Structure 1
Amino acid sequence: MAAQPEGAPCWADAMFSDPEGAKRFYGQVLGWAFGEASSEYGNYTEAYADGKAVAAIVPPMPGQEDESQWCLYFASDDAEVTADRIRAAGGELLMGPMRVDDFGTMCLARDPGGVVFGVWQAGRHQGFQAMAEPGAYCWAEVFTREPEKADVFFPAVFSYQAKQMEDGEVDFRVFSLGDRGVLGRMKMTDDFPPDVPPYIDVYFTVEDCDAAVSRATELGGVLRLGPMDTPFGRFAGLTDPQGANFSVIDVTAAQGEMPTLTDVS
């Protein structure tokens, strides 16, 4: 795939204290195969679905042995410029920008509400080689207790347009680039335990949502939500055995009417 436009999700990775355990789990749940670990880059290991790079796992660096979590990267034309916008919008840079050989330039950041994300300026590594195919990334949502901060921050950094879902039960917003929705924003309710930090929930495509949930729970994962039918597909929220949240979705099993969205840009 060609490099994604600025602001579009372009890559996902996660740190795991037990990389081999993560390989076994995601290999069976999502059908991933794994490349060779790159010792030169901290044993960074790419995952492949049908031979296409779709994500990566890596052991934690010293001092970062916290609970595992998926990190979503957004495409940038110039990581230095994006880093400046992050700071100007009240975000915090956690790492970089730094060049990763000729693969590209990356940085890690945190929004004012505590959501961690990455920025990737593509070089030789363009990012996802597949999207919305079995085993590949499909969608993502910012889960935050402070939606008003996210609603200002992300459009300021990535020039998103925003639409609010007209639903009295949930506070949900979609950020778009032109006509393409690229990111959701969900307000965390009291259903989330207070010790669960804000995060970006990454959705991976599966051929059968219920079968993926069954495999995940048999392997020690925890079902957080669903499976449930939506106009976007049948999906479920999961936590892997090492504590990383993610979702699975069968986009071929969409049911119901699309929600009404109101422009709030």
Structure 2
Amino acid sequence: MTESRGSADSAGGAHARRAPGTPCWVSLMVHALTATEDFYGALFGWEFRPGPLQLGPNVRALLDGQEVAGIGQLPPDRRLSVAWTPYLASDDVDRTAETVRLCGGTVGVGPLDADEAGRMAIASDPTGAVFGVCQGTARLRTAVTGVPGTPAWNELVTFETASVVKFYESVFGYEQDPVVSADFDYVTLHVDGRPVAGVLGAGQRLPRTRGPHWLTYFGVGDTDATLRQVVDLGGGILKPAHDSAHGRVATVTDPEGTVFSVIQSPR
């Protein structure tokens, strides 16, 4: 895994076009919206304001007044598992949705217009991992990155990389950078020569209760201090803090069981 860097959209502001395939937003659908706001507000310093009405009860998470993520309320009768979902940029959501279907994926929601959020869809790859798609010029995008409390990296955790990478390459035109190793199956996805996401082939280590899924990493100033705070706020620790080539990282859950990772950049 690697991580993105920078403090704001360098291509002309928070709503500038992002190249197709570039992660541009993350969202979370939960059962207890207010409790979730309390957790992430305390953990990352987020504040909240109402989101697009077409998406039902939902809020936009703000850091220093800039949008960084979205959180929505699941209907009371939908006892679905909760997970952070990355959105990938597209120049044409309808065309991307059709390509997803042609390549063996599924489109579960949309394409649809969501007020100022722009045109979007939610899909899954052939292994069942869920991701979003948003129009390249839509207003649905993280306005600041590279600082604590913002998404730092998105990683697909799946059985093996070869077949699923072909799917994402066909849909988004990614360039591949595989790690050649007998015991490590990893591919970094590039857009215009820049790393934007990763695919980890976990094999038998893939949790059977979750199946293939996208994992979002959030930047933090101090991983060990963040873990103590996660526990104090009612969350849990799945993988304790450890040092990696890209910083000190850990995997945790929020009080509803949503899995995410935190990473502290090397100083």
Equivalent residues of 1:105, 1:123 under 8 A apart: no
- The one-letter code sitting in structure 2 at the alignment partner of 1:179 is G
Pick aligned residue for 1:204 from 218, 233, 238: 218
Number of the residue aligned with 1:185:
199
- The one-letter code sitting in structure 2 at the alignment partner of 1:28 is A
In structure 2, distance between residues paired with 1:242 and 1:6: 32
Equivalent residues of 2:21, 2:90 under 8 A apart: yes
CA pair 151-21 structure 1, distance change in 2 beyond 3 A: same
CA pair 85-38 structure 1, distance change in 2 beyond 3 A: closer
Shift of 1:40: 5.2
CA pair 102-20 structure 1, distance change in 2 beyond 3 A: closer
Equivalent residues of 2:54, 2:115 under 8 A apart: no
In structure 2, distance between residues paired with 1:41 and 1:151: 30
Equivalent residues of 1:133, 1:206 under 8 A apart: yes
Q: Which runs of 5+ in 1 are unaligned?
A: 254-265
CA pair 146-252 structure 1, distance change in 2 beyond 3 A: closer
In structure 1, distance between residues paired with 2:184 and 2:238: 17
Equivalent residues of 1:52, 1:129 under 8 A apart: yes
Equivalent residues of 1:103, 1:123 under 8 A apart: no
In structure 2, distance between residues paired with 1:64 and 1:183: 30
Shift of 1:39: 4.9
Shift of 1:111: 0.4
CA pair 191-222 structure 1, distance change in 2 beyond 3 A: farther
Q: Write the deviation string for residues 145-167 of structure 1: whole angstroms up to 9, x where unpaired.
A: 24333111000100001111133
Pick aligned residue for 1:150 from 160, 164, 176: 164
Number of the residue aligned with 1:71:
85
Q: Write the deviation string for residues 89-116 of structure 1: whole angstroms up to 9, x where unpaired.
A: 1111101111112431011111001100
Q: Which runs of 4+ in 1 moved over 6 A?
A: none
Identity across the alignment (%): 32
Shift of 1:185: 0.4
Number of the residue aligned with 1:238:
252
Equivalent residues of 1:203, 1:247 under 8 A apart: yes
In structure 1, distance between residues paired with 2:117 and 2:214: 24
CA pair 146-230 structure 1, distance change in 2 beyond 3 A: closer
Equivalent residues of 1:68, 1:242 under 8 A apart: yes
CA pair 19-76 structure 1, distance change in 2 beyond 3 A: same
Greater RCO between the two (CA within 8 Å, min separation 6)?
2
Aligned-partner SS, 1:217? helix
In structure 2, distance between residues paired with 1:73 and 1:89: 18
In structure 1, distance between residues paired with 2:120 and 2:160: 26
Number of the residue aligned with 2:142:
128
Number of the residue aligned with 2:230:
216
CA pair 62-146 structure 1, distance change in 2 beyond 3 A: farther
Q: Write the deviation string for residues 202-234 of structure 1: whole angstroms up to 9, x where unpaired.
A: 011111111111111222212112311112111
In structure 2, distance between residues paired with 1:134 and 1:193: 28
Residue 107 (structure 1) aligned with residue 121 (structure 2) = yes
- The one-letter code sitting in structure 2 at the alignment partner of 1:90 is G
Number of the residue aligned with 1:260:
none
TM score, norm. by length of structure 2: 0.89
CA pair 153-224 structure 1, distance change in 2 beyond 3 A: same
CA pair 83-62 structure 1, distance change in 2 beyond 3 A: farther
**RMSD value over aligned CA atoms?**
1.7
In structure 1, distance between residues paired with 2:223 and 2:48: 22
Aligned residues: 253
TM score, norm. by length of structure 1: 0.90
Shift of 1:38: 5.3
Number of the residue aligned with 1:159:
173
Q: Which moved more, 1:68-77 or 1:211-220?
A: 211-220
In structure 2, distance between residues paired with 1:39 and 1:91: 28
